[in-house]
Structure formats: C-alpha cells, structure tokens
Structure 1
Amino acid sequence: MAVLTEKNLIQIRRDLHAMPELALNEFRTAAYLEKVITGFNQQYLTIKHVPDLPTALLVRVAGSAPQRTLGYRTDIDALPVSEKTGLPFASKNPGVMHACGHDIHMTVALGVLSYFSEHQPTDNLIFFFQPAEESQNGGKLAYELGVFEGEWRPDEFYGLHDNPDLPAGAIGCRLGTLFAGTTEVNIDLEGKGGHAAYPQDANDMVVAAAHLISQVQTIISRSIDPIEGGVITLGKLEAGTIRNVIAGHAHIEGTIRGLTQVMIEKIDQRLQEVGDGIAKSFNADVTVTLNQGGYLPVENDPELTQPFIDYMENASDVNYIETKPAMTGEDFGYLLSKIPGTMFWLGVEDDSQLHSATLNPNEAAIMAGINAITGFMTDRMAR
C-alpha cells in the first residue's frame, strides 16, 4: 500500500468512530488498527503485542542511521457517552462514543506511520497505540509492564490531543504544563445514627460533612499560590435515608486538579489535614482516600518543547497558536514523568466541547496534523 491518502484517512476515521470501545476492551479497535498497519510497506516495521495488555499495539520503524529513538503515542479508547450527532457513521455501540476525539488521534497516528513506512526515517521511531487513557491509566500499566525497554524505549515521546476551540489543523502548544494532573478523592465519615428528636444521643455525619466541605473550599483560596492554581471539586455527597433519622455515615467523592505534581501533593496533604481536623472536632472517624493512578500533570520538557515550538512557528504550512494550560487530565503525563517529551493540541474546530455527545471534529484537521508532525519529525531527525 502506498502512503494513505486523505480519502483513505477520512474513511479510517469514520470506521473507527463507529466502533468505540471502553478502556481495556478495545479489541475490535486494536484488530482494525493492526489490519491497516499490516497493509503498509513492512520493510522497516516491527509489530509488538503485549500479552498482559492485549489491546495495546506497538510498531517500531527502523531508522537508516539512528542517533536516537523518537516515540509517538496515540490513545484508542472511548467514553461511556450516548452519541447524539446524527452522523451516518455514528457509534454502533450503544452508550459508547469517541466523544474525546480519539478516532482523530488514531487516524493521525496511522497517517504518520504510513508516511514513514514509505520514507524510511533517519532515527528509529516507536508508535504506541495505547488503550485505557480515559480510565484505568493505560500508559502507567504499559510502563510498569516493561513495554518500553531495550530497543522499544523512546529517548523522547510526543503525542497530541484534539481541541475543538482551535481552528481545524492548527497546532497548539506551550512550555511547561499543558494539562493538569488529577487525583480521585473519596472521603468517608463515620459517626453514630439516631432519632432526629434526640441529637444528643447521636453523632450527625451530615453536619460533619457540611463542615468538611466548607473547610475544603479554603484549601485553594488560602493554602495555594493563586499564580499556580489548583482545583478541588467535591461532586458527590451521600448521607442519610429518611428525614427524621440522623445519619451516622456520609460519603463524599470528588477530584483534585493541579498544574504540577508538587502542587497536587500539597493539596493532597492539606485535604488529609482537614479530614483529621474534622475527625477531632466531631469525634468521628474520617477516612480520606486519594488515588492518582497514572494521571500526573502533562509537563512538557523544555529542551524538547522549545525546538518543537520553533519548528511549528516557522513552518509555512502550519498555523501555530500558543495555548494556556488546561485543567483537564491526560494520562500521557505519567509517560512524560518517565521519558522526556512534548504533548500538543491539534485544532478540530467544533462548537461542541470534548466529552460532549455532539462532538463532531472537522476532518480537515487530519491531513494538516499529519503534515505538521511528519515535517517536525523529519526536521528533528536532521539535528
């Protein structure tokens, strides 16, 4: 097969869009990707499977005179969202949709791989088609399984995320943090239930939970540098069964977002301290459980990101836009904490936001993204 044409790529994107699968269950998606890849010129390619992560797929492209190995990662999973686009190629899996645009991500990656299968790169390339980005931290799972060892370890890693707020095909990036890190928060408060008419004989966890929630709001406003920023959202509270019974238990769920790992760890510490204080104040048992998994901040390496920005700013066929950090999470942050690299935006120009049931990325972004990435990688390998 020759290099994929724009018509081929749009059809691939639509095929992938119609078959979305949730984290660690992307079996049809992985099979489809491998079928496309095995149709490429195999002269420089080696395909690798991961038995303990069966929907993961890696492809190595042998360089002609390698000085380094460049990695490129794309995510392949979808979200539990019921699609409402009305598109003829809409999701055929009820309740599941590529509402974050991973179908675009995969298609761009295939286009870049297709190009280098016909134009042997100077340096080695590793393409990582990663399962479980939206949940289950697939990047962390792969790293801990030893996937990136020996000739399969990139010296530097790159990856994109589509952005409906940017013009179709535009490249957005910045030095420093592109995406926040995230931590799941679960808080359980245990007191003593009782009759509403006899509060002195009970220990009301609705009241304790209310005080905890109020105090948590001061962590960001009074413990965190406002220039650096952070977010705590407690989005779920469960307590009680009926109006005239004092609740002896309350359960709270939420999320923490921070632009650096140091910031997240500081927020984590303050949240634990607030929980300890509420426990003492209300004579209750308060358990704060924090789970970050692999969702660390996406902190772009300055020594690699500046050359990336320089190329994109000066390329005549690239519309480069400097972007602000976003409080959304991305598990590429874990891989960037282990291997230096850069994440960037690809504009897909749509009125609907990421994770929306009506997201419909502009397909003109696909070829523009491929051209920008192949151009950058070719330039990078010449330096």
Structure 2
Amino acid sequence: MTDINLIDIRRHLHQIPELALHENKTHEYLMRIVGSFNQKNLTIGSIESLPTAILVKINGYDPKRTIGYRSDIDALPIEEATGLSFSSKHPGCMHACGHDIHMTVALGVLHYFAENQPKDNMVFFFQPAEESESGGRKAYEANAFNGNFKVDEFYGLHDNPSLPAGAIGCRMGTLFAGTTEININLTGKGGHAAYPQNANDMVVVAAQLINQVQTIISRSIDPIQSGVITLGKIEAGTIRNVIAGHARIEGTIRGLTQSMIELIDKRLEEICHGIELSYNCKVDLELNQGGYYPVENDSELTREFIEFMQNDEDVNFIETKPAMTGEDFGYLLSKIPGTMFWLGVGDDSSLHTATLTPDESSIDKGVNAIISFLENRMKR
C-alpha cells in the first residue's frame, strides 16, 4: 500500500538513536520525510515546550471525527551489540525498544493517507520522551490535542519480539501496567559499631521497612488482581565498624489499573509513617509516577479493533496477556479514548537488550493492517 522505501527509512532511523528530549536529528529526519509527502491535505504543527515533537494533520473529505495515531521517537542508553551493518552511530545509545519500527510504520500509514485522502481527519503525533520524562503527559498538558490538532480517539502500537513478525496482538482492558518510581531516604544517627545504644542504625530500620513492604502485595491486594513492588537498590554505610545513620532504598511499583497503583502508594506511605514512629527516625518517601499510567484500552474501540483484526484474512491476530512493562501512552488514554496494540517483530532477543533485531518484514504487514482498520473505522 506504500511506494516509499520503508526499510531504508527504518535503517536510517536505527542509526541515529537519541535519548528523551534530545531527539534533534530524529526530528530533522522525520520532518524531511514528511515534507517529501503530498502536502495537499497536510498541516504540520509543533509544540513550543516540546520542540522535538511533530504533529501532522490530514484533512478528511467528509470528517465526522479526528483519529489520532501516536509513535514514540526516543531511544535508550544502551550500547548496541547486534553487529548490523546499520548499527547505531551514536555510542552508548540504541533503539533497543524498537521505536525505529514504530516511527517507520507510522510514516508508512501517514504516507498512504497523504496520497489517499481519508474520510475523517487524522492527526499523527511523533512523540519524544517515552522512555523517560513523560513526553505524552507533557504534550497533553501543553494543550497539543486541542484546537486544530484536537483528537477524538487515539491509536498506537508497540513492537513485540515474542510475537511472529507482522502479527497483531491486543486485548480488552489493560495492555501495559502503570509504573511508579519509589525513592525512600531513612535518616537516623550514625555511631561506633561497639556502642549501638548511642546510635540509631538505619541498616536495621531499612531491613524492617523492606520486610513490611513485602506484605503489601500478599496481604493488602486482592489475589486475583495484579500488582508488583520491587525494591531493586539499597545503599547504606561506609565501613564495617560504623553504624549507618542514613540509608536509601530505590524501587518501582507496577499495577494494571490506576486504582491499584494508588492503593499500593497509600499502603507504602502508611508503612513508612509507621516505621518513622517505631524507630524514632526520619523517613522521606518520594513517589514519582509522571505520565506512566496503565495502558487501559477503551472497551468500545478495542472491541471493534479486535473484531476487525480477527476477521481480516491478511492479519495474524493473537490475543495477548497484560504486560507489567510501562508505557506513557497510558496517560493519553486516561484522557482520550483509544487503543494500544502489539506488532509482532519475531526476535529471540527481548526489548531493552543490546541484541534486539526486529524482523523488518513486520513493517509492511503492520502498515497494511493499520490502514485497513482505519479505513474501516472511518466507515462507521
């Protein structure tokens, strides 16, 4: 359905990965590609507070709605180890989450509708800062989707190495968990190891706090619901014979609904307050969710999406389970109804690894499936 070389585009994007809010070369290249498309029905916009973002509106010939399509554009701080001839040219940075695939598919869909005017209006959002810095939330709070670029419903994909190349995966309800970063600083009183009565040992306090936190999921959460707390980092002390007066714990919360995350947050706050009282120390808890809300798919739109993909003979549709990984598209879906889905890229390596090598045959299959769905959606 496209007559542009999407493989070349993907390989160029793969060579110029950039971190959140610094996607300058990526922005320049995307603008060049979009600028080469038929401009008759296109309007290109920007977001002043998010300069690497790109908005592209296509005017429909008989619009009843405006359909949004989002692609993230940033990369990860990972040194590539694929050995590909088109490997990253930016040391220590790689498209290890497949955002080069996301952008390429979006460009393929955009190109088709630039050449074949859609019935409804469309807005394509090339979003910076998905991996960190909550780019979706920043764009929404900058009123990017009001006025000329107002969006009535949003769609977006994420590549999935565990699915066959070109397969479409989706599910009703939550696709991705929401995430919250945990930072806990415990302050007591240091002292000599031989005189514990004169100190307030934050190693002991940290151990007690960690033990109590483990009861949140097992005793405060409905067993048929899903939540995760992982405390992955702890720092305390300087030497074996000095009692530590300070400790720091870092971790993450994952939940499949926003209400689940808020419940875990509340219990964690209560435990920290209890530890503070019990051990006569200071416990500072910082919870940072940003824009990483659960990706909770709209029921009506998602049912229509799944039914279409199941009935399309050219699509290999797979119903998937929810994933505990995070995605800031969840914030946009908490404000604007829509659907996120998987595009299989058939790889032995997982996302966020230095050897991720998506099967490029997935690109055209994804483009074709999305175009077919959107054209059908516009008939409704």
TM over 0.5: yes
Q: TM-score range by the shorter chain?
A: over 0.9
- Matching residue within 338, 341, 358 for 2:338: 341
Whichever residue aligns with residue 322 of structure 1, its letter is E
Question: Does the 8 Å CA contact 1:157/1:336 hold for their aligned counterparts?
Answer: yes
- 1:144-191 deviation digits (Å, cap 9, x = unpaired): 011111231111000000000000000000000000000000001010
Gaps of 5+ in 2: none
Q: Is 1:57 paired with 2:54?
A: yes
CA distance in 2, matches of 1:225, 1:301: 23
- TM-score, with length taken from structure 2: 0.99
Instruction: Kindly provide the CA deviation profile for residues 7-41 of structure 1, in whole angstroms up to 9, marking residues without a partner as x.
Output: x1000000000000000000000110010011001
**Distance in 1 (alpha carbons) for counterparts of 2:120 and 2:47:** 24
State the alpha-carbon separation in 2 of the partners of residues 121 and 15 from structure 1.
28
What fraction of aligned residue pairs are identical, expressed as a percent? 70
Matches for 1:1-383 after TM superposition, within 5 Å: 3-5=2-4, 8-383=5-380
Distance 1:148 1:180 in 2: 24
Name the aligned partner's letter for residue 137 of structure 1: S
Supply the distance in 1 between the matched residues of 2:370 and 2:188 (Cα, whole angstroms).
Answer: 57
Runs of 4 or more consecutive aligned structure 1 residues displaced over 3 Å after TM superposition? 2-5
Contact 1:3 1:118 in 2 (8 A): no
Gaps of 5+ in 1: none
Q: Secondary structure at the match of 1:378?
A: helix
Report the TM-score when normalising by structure 1: 0.98
Distance 2:195 2:300 in 1: 65
SS of 1:295 mapped into structure 2: coil
Distance 2:101 2:217 in 1: 35
- Count of paired positions: 380
In the alignment, the residues of structure 2 paired with residue 174 and residue 153 of structure 1 have an alpha-carbon distance, to the nearest angstrom, of 26
- CA displacement, residues 92-143 of structure 1 (integer Å, 9 cap, x when unaligned): 0000000000000000000000000001000000000000000000000001
The AA in structure 2 aligned to 1:289 is E
Q: Secondary structure at the match of 2:38?
A: coil
CA distance in 2, matches of 1:137, 1:289: 17
User: Equivalents in 2 of 1:328, 1:225: separation in Å?
Assistant: 20
| RMSD, aligned α-carbons | 0.8
Q: Deviations over 1:223-257 (max 9, x none)?
A: 01121110000011010000000000000100000
Name the amino acid aligned to 1:4.
Answer: D
